[in-house]
A and B are shown apart, each in its own frame.
Chain A
Amino acid sequence: MFIITCPYCGDRDQTEFSCGGEAHIERPKQPTELSDDEWAEYLFMRKNIKGVQFERWNHSHGCRKWFNIIRDTSNDKIHAVYKMGEKPPVI
């Protein structure tokens, strides 16, 4: 039950958010040119790290904006929050 600092709204309880899984997996620009394996890589393969992980979160019960966070999944420490399209800060 952590607190997330929404880049648009500020500190809010975790219950206001929903997690969208691993961040920085860009949808291929030309899916038709990909092999089955390459497409499957995009579609299914996620890291699910124990440790520092880049994640997409949505302030679904708030401003409804998507953004990224860097979270240590082993202790829920959030190292950084940054907007969609921004480069992840170095931690």
Chain B
Amino acid sequence: MSKNLRINKNNFIDQTIRISFKFNGQQLFGYKGDTLASALLANNIHLVGRSFKYHRPRGIMTCGSEEPNAIVQVGNDPSLTDPNVRATEIEIYEGLEASSQNCWPSVNFDIGAINNFLSPLLPAGFYYKTFMWPASFWEKYEYFIRHSAGLGKAPTKPDPDIYDHQYSHCDVLVVGGGISGIISARLSAEKGLDTMLIDDKNFLGGSTIYQENEAYKINDIYSNEWLAKEIKSLKNYPNLIIKNRTSLAAFHGYNYLLARENLTDHLSISDRKNKIRQRLWKIRAKKVIIASGSIERPLIFSNNDRPGIILSSSIKKYIDYYGVKTGENISLFTNNDSAYETAISLNKSGVKVNVIVDIRKNSDSLIVKEALDLGLKVLWESTVVETQGYKKIKSFEVMKLSDDGNNVIGNKTKHNCDCLGISGGWTPMVHLFTQSGGKLTFRNEDNVFIPDEDKTPPNQISVGSCNGEFKLDEIVTRTIENLKSFLDLSKTCYDEIKINCPDEKSKRNIWLLPSDKPTGKTKPFLDFQNDSTAKDVKLALREGFKSIEHVKRYTTTGMGTDQGKLSNMHALGIIADTTGTNMGELGTTTFRPPYTPLTFGAIVGRNVGEFFDHTRRTAIHNWHVKNNAEFENVGQWKRPWYFPKNGENMHQAVQRESKAARDSAGILDASTLGKIDIQGTDASEFLNRVYTNAWSKLEIGKCRYGLMLNEDGMVYDDGVTTRLGENHYIMTTTTGGAANVLSKLEDYLQTEWPELDVYLTTVTDQYSTISICGPNSKNIISKIVPSLDLSDSNFPHMSFKNIKISNVNCRIMRISFTGEHSYEINIQSNYAEDLWIKCMEAGKEFHLTPYGTETMHLLRAEKGFIITGQDTDGTLTPSDLQMDWIIGKKKFDFIGKRSLYRSDTIREDRKQLVGLLTDDPKEVLEEGAQLVENINTKPVEMLGHVTSSYFSPNLNKSIALAVVKSGKKLKGKKLIVPMENKNINVTITDTVFYDKENKRLNA
């Protein structure tokens, strides 16, 4: 375990800076520039986790974002711990503590591994088949599934880190800093375009930057040297922004992209203080160049998942870039030339390469020749049929392939190893291209899906290996050629470029490699994270699944955090082979954003806590705070809910407030009600069309209650509208409906009735509203506005006057939402708090009591006044609400009129608003409770539900409003409200409980 597998030859790791970290409690060290994966491998640690279903030991398999196994929990702090971090992506820092996720009690001894031996019992669709029935058992199953599934631990405390959002509107965005991305960025910057280059690594250059090989030369120098110079030259362009450690999360239409920049995750904890952790870039680019590269495919053979089995190109990166040997006795298994590059790199670094198993008959390319010249042993036309080693690969067995590749022949040879590199060819990373709406085409010769040039959305281009160009000369020359037309360039700095590289001619691909054992006895893993095997895919096909999307879900292939980056192509290939379909016709599954997982913090940015949503406060808010109001959220508004005194609870406060308002006087801040100023010569006609009742004859200075419907006839909003002048009205709406009502009115004016001369202006914030009600309201108003004649003849109910209070122009309405004699003063918001205090002083002798929304609701319920949105839910007509009186039957038309006599709306058994009294007057019903007639016949028929319910201190009994089927006809009927532990008996009544004759309005 304590073996050091670091070599001293490399340019990318700073071996002068030693960094200590912990993995599964063990103290280890690595160097500046290491990822957790490279540092673990340098310490000879391969086993990093267990697979989800069978809990098989799994090791580091890749060196990038496609890593399916090395997924770790970082940190122990309950507010900072981070689950599902890929060891291949996180850079180590002083004090890093990481641990394996999917194992219990430890990665070396895992109880769940028993599943491995039970695996014949855990086939594809196992969870669906086993845990679905009986449904009531799901809770029990879920406990065990959750306990044994390795999804990491979420932080339990709020995230203290700072996250940021930033917009960018660049001319050109280049995604990916490999050789094609670097060339693209330089060409774009050279042209003078504002360019942004993003790359998910801490170092630019992709895989070319460590390609130090005689066979790869650009302009007669090693391709890595040439690229290093190019990267240096990028510094000369002030119009080029380079973002390292930035991964693209999503590519939406119209070149809108989201990228996450990691700013502090690589720093030691102490260096992170007060810094922004991650920044989410919202990029709207005029043009996008995708240079996202390609990833190597694994090969599918039995037990291909043991720790120590690593992608060949990753072995190369670990040795060439990190200076880390992934083993000391390495063999390679390939179907293409790129494994030979790995072999050469290992050989140069003094690592023994035992054999190269190649499924092809031969290959005569330069790179293969170079490997053979070094004396490396190749087993042509052969395949690995089995591997051994539980926590780490120890050996593998090889057999000859038949000509057609369907069988193995001859003798088995066994080879010892401590690491097996596998290379199944290359898969272009087309995720971003397809996310943006691009369509793929299948290239048969090397089995790749590549962007279809004719089905590429405008203003984007894919270059390099993500576009299916894998040879260095193709990558460079086609990138330059394509960008010339994409960026409209004539001459470029690359016009004289000269490239030498090997040419791979020999190709062979077998999606599922044959074995000497029957398929049932093998374990060829496809999706390493979800433990789905080639067997599972075949089983799904036998069971009748045909669509790739269905096979994916049934077998969970490609559904892990790696999004099937490694497994999708093989799954498709096996489906195509088994069903005799062409892969191109099969198509791929949908690649959904995010390409790599995003933190919630990055998504939310600064929109947390008080910045989560806007908070609207009335002009009188400070007074409410000073006077101990409890607040209620109504939309974005903070409204006083009740004003507790001397330790009262809510019930006590509301009972006191409600009684005071009827006994003497109450005062309410009604400023949040929507107010729309309506002017124009057609204002009256407009109101006729939007309200159910008639408006033309409303006199100037008078107010009227109006009900607004949707075209479907359902009640939408209500409020009092006042005629201020011949062509001038002010409409009030509900608090929550204000914005929507304005939008709806604007819609009709602009689209259906553009001929009407009407202007709408929202004045909700400009005016504050103070409502004073109760038998003493008149006495209080007379003290505040002594000049105003408050007699019923001069200022009757439902009328308005312009007044002055301390030289401030105000409007005063005599309207009532409580049934009491009541006034509402509208005043410019700047003066509202001052007027409120004046009212409180004037009302002192009458015990004027401030009340909140709860008391307001209680008082209006005593009178049977509805609250739209509480007693209505978008399914009730005016008639359902017993408000037929408000329908202007003689009116030619209004919004929703025609719907009021559709066959459905005239049904008599619709739910209708009724009052409810409980047999026990002390029993208060729960809002939302169901109403039934007969509890004994099953199924019990639900007749309706309670919409509003209170204990009325003024009636000294419980009252409620409800909607009940055919309720209008059922007055006096006994119903039952079944609750968890009792049945409550209720009687249907009239909706008006208090002052049925409306005597108090003029009291």
Answer yes or no: are A and B bound together in one complex.
yes
A interface with B by C-beta (< 8 Å) = 1-3, 13, 20, 26-28, 30-32, 34, 36, 39-40, 43, 56, 58, 60, 64-66, 75-76, 84-85
In the assembled complex, the Cα of A85 lies from the Cα of B752 at a distance in Å of 10
A-B residue pairs in contact (CB < 8 Å), sample of 30: A1-B252, A1-B253, A1-B254, A2-B253, A2-B254, A2-B256, A3-B254, A13-B284, A26-B752, A27-B752, A28-B898, A31-B893, A32-B898, A34-B898, A36-B902, A36-B903, A39-B898, A39-B899, A39-B902, A58-B743, A58-B747, A60-B743, A65-B750, A66-B747, A66-B750, A76-B253, A76-B437, A84-B750, A84-B751, A85-B754
The residues of A that contact B190 with a CB separation of less than 8 Å are none
What residue in chain A is nearest B455 (Cβ atoms)? A75
The residues of B that contact A56 with a CB separation of less than 8 Å are 751
Contacts A3-B254, A75-B253 given; does A66 touch B751 at CB 8 Å: yes
Contact A75 B898 (CB under 8 A): no
What residue in chain B is nearest A39 (Cβ atoms)? B898
**A6 to nearest B CB, angstroms?**
13
**Interface residue B94 (Cβ < 8 Å from any Cβ of A):** no
The residues of B that contact A20 with a CB separation of less than 8 Å are 747
Within 8 A of A (CB), among B865-900: 892-893, 897-899
**Interface residue B712 (Cβ < 8 Å from any Cβ of A):** yes
The residues of A that contact B712 with a CB separation of less than 8 Å are 43
In the assembled complex, the Cα of A28 lies from the Cα of B895 at a distance in Å of 11
One digit per residue, 1 when the CB lies within 8 angstroms of any chain A CB and 0 when it does not, for chain B 218-257 equals: 0000000000000000000000000000000000111010
Contact A75 B437 (CB under 8 A): yes
Contacts A58-B747, A76-B437 given; does A43 touch B711 at CB 8 Å: yes
The residues of A that contact B902 with a CB separation of less than 8 Å are 36, 39-40
In the assembled complex, the Cα of A1 lies from the Cα of B436 at a distance in Å of 10
The residues of A that contact B897 with a CB separation of less than 8 Å are 31-32
Within 8 A of A (CB), among B733-776: 743, 746-747, 750-752, 754
What residue in chain B is nearest A42 (Cβ atoms)? B711
**B95 to nearest A CB, angstroms?**
40
One digit per residue, 1 when the CB lies within 8 angstroms of any chain A CB and 0 when it does not, for chain B 267-290 equals: 000000000000000001000000
Contact B253 A84 (CB under 8 A): no
In the assembled complex, the Cα of A60 lies from the Cα of B762 at a distance in Å of 14
**A82 to nearest B CB, angstroms?**
13
In the assembled complex, the Cα of A74 lies from the Cα of B743 at a distance in Å of 28
In the assembled complex, the Cα of A25 lies from the Cα of B123 at a distance in Å of 54
The residues of A that contact B256 with a CB separation of less than 8 Å are 1-2
Within 8 A of A (CB), among B602-640: none
Within 8 A of A (CB), among B544-600: none
Contact A76 B752 (CB under 8 A): no
In the assembled complex, the Cα of A13 lies from the Cα of B254 at a distance in Å of 10
In the assembled complex, the Cα of A60 lies from the Cα of B252 at a distance in Å of 22
**A74 to nearest B CB, angstroms?**
9
Contact A84 B898 (CB under 8 A): no
**B996 to nearest A CB, angstroms?**
35
The residues of B that contact A13 with a CB separation of less than 8 Å are 284
**Interface residue B75 (Cβ < 8 Å from any Cβ of A):** no
The residues of B that contact A40 with a CB separation of less than 8 Å are 902
**A78 to nearest B CB, angstroms?**
9
The residues of B that contact A39 with a CB separation of less than 8 Å are 898-899, 902
**Interface residue B701 (Cβ < 8 Å from any Cβ of A):** no
The residues of B that contact A1 with a CB separation of less than 8 Å are 252-254, 256
**B875 to nearest A CB, angstroms?**
15
What residue in chain B is nearest A20 (Cβ atoms)? B747
Q: Pick from A1, A2, A30, A66 the residue with the most CB of B within 10 Å.
A: A1
In the assembled complex, the Cα of A57 lies from the Cα of B283 at a distance in Å of 24
- Of B252, B754, B899, the residue contacting A84 (CB under 8 A) is B754
